[in-house]
Amino acid sequence: MTGVESISSNIQKLVEVTAGMNTPTATGPMNLVLDKCTVVLEELRTIQILSETHSEGLSEQLQQTEKNMIEIENLFDKIDRLNAFVQNTKSELDKLEKFYNVAERQ
């Protein structure tokens, strides 16, 4: 049971207890306090629901961001391998060009 649910349960019990003691039109201090507590409790419930919903959305976004980071890391690895391939190929072409130039002179 969460804090809000516990508070809600306690206030509901107080409302039930005091409801039997007073007439429905009573405006005593206890009824005013209980009415205010009930309003605040409803606001807290709303905030709790919004917070939970927002947290779930953030959790989903975080999971998607983690997946995107993994994809980006894989992409960078592929770029690094491509860069190494291009450098090796250029080196091989430079060697072939030198060899061709030497063979052409002879």
Q: Could you report the per-residue pLDDT of 59-106, keeping only the tens digit for each?
A: 888 999 999 999 999 999 999 999 999 999 999 999 999 988 888 887
How far, CA to CA in Å, does 29 sit from each of 18, 25, 90?
Answer: 11, 13, 89
Query: By C-alpha distance, which of 33, 22, 23, 26 is closest to 10?
Result: 33
CA atoms in the 13 A half-sphere facing the CB of 55: 6
16 with 38: CB under 8 angstroms? no
1 with 9: CB under 8 angstroms? yes
Q: What is the pLDDT of residues 46-72, one digit of tens each?
A: 888 888 888 888 888 899 999 999 999
**In which band, very low, low, confident or very high, does the pLDDT at 18 lie, cut at 50, 70 and 90?**
low
Is 44 in a helix, a strand, or coil?
A: helix
Each domain of the chain, given as residue ranges in start order, spans: 3-105
pTM: 0.48
